[in-house]
């Protein structure tokens, strides 16, 4: 091998080593830039989004590591109350603050993302997703892994949130998902719960109404819930 080739090989080798060191240094500095005190990357996290307070809590080892201001869904487009998992992560565009963490909700596409409207945070203003400040969601995105549990709390009555809303065909939500589960346990609903009040659910509703002397009108109201045994007690 000529001296020139040896010199060229040495320079290329040094260049590669420098690139690796720069990358490792950048990675280390990025990890150290996290402001979540006490976070251990080797232990699992649990996220709790309280849409009555509009705050998201990051838990690890039963300790709250950090709290973020968020916004939950409007009454007309409620957030999916219940316990879910992160099943997707992506770096979506500006409208989503550059980061997306999706849930395994069966009746729609819901997740945690940023927003270009920071004034929408702190109150229920979204279309059902959990909105965060862009810098906050970027920080959270770094540490949240696939299958991380996400508990969305919407009130003292579990999947029914803060009250029993009248339910009509075409509506979606956690309360419908829970209602389908109850009807399935009682032998009325034959399908798989999916949180959608569609045409396939109507026969089970009508059958229950008929057998319990309720008006057959497809609407699930307080009398329907009472006959079903669902009464909210705070």
**CA dist., res. 99 & res. 140, Å (int):** 9
Task: For 204-219, give the DSSP string.
Answer: HHHHHHHHTT---SS-
β-pairing, 149-153 vs 55-60, is unpaired
Q: Rounded to 10 degrees, what is the CA torsion of 159, 160, 166, 167? A: 0
| Residues 51, 55, 61: CA angle, nearest 5 degrees | 110
CA distances from 32 to 57, 66, 131 (A): 21, 16, 25
Element (H, E) at 32: helix 3-32
CA gyration radius, the chain: 25
CA distances from 211 to 154, 201, 223 (A): 32, 16, 13
**CA dist., res. 150 & res. 181, Å (int):** 21
DSSP character for 159?
G
Q: What are the catalytic residues?
A: 113, 129
């Amino acid at each position: 091998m000529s001296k020139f080739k040896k010199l060229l090989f040495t320079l290329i080798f040094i260049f590669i080593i420098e690139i690796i060191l720069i990358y490792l240094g950048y990675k280390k500095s990025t990890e150290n830039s996290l402001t979540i005190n006490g976070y251990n990357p080797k232990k699992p996290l649990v996220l709790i989004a309280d849409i009555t307070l509009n705050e998201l809590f990051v838990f690890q080892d039963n300790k709250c590591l950090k709290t973020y201001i968020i916004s939950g869904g409007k009454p007309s487009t409620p957030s999916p109350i219940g316990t879910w998992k992160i099943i997707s992560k992506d770096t979506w565009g500006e409208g989503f603050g550059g980061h997306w963490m999706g849930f395994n909700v069966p009746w729609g596409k819901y997740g945690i993302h940023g927003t270009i409207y920071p004034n929408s945070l702190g109150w229920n203003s979204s279309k059902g997703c959990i909105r965060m400040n862009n810098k906050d969601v970027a920080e959270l995105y770094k540490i949240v892994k696939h299958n991380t549990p996400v508990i969305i709390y919407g009130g003292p009555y579990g999947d029914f949130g803060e009250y029993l809303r009248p339910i009509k065909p075409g509506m979606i939500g956690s309360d419908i998902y829970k209602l389908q589960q109850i009807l399935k346990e009682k032998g009325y609903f034959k399908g798989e719960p999916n949180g959608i009040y569609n045409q396939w659910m109507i026969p089970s509703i009508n059958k229950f109404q008929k057998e319990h002397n309720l008006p057959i009108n497809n609407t699930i109201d307080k009398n329907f819930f009472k006959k079903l045994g669902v009464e909210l007690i705070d």
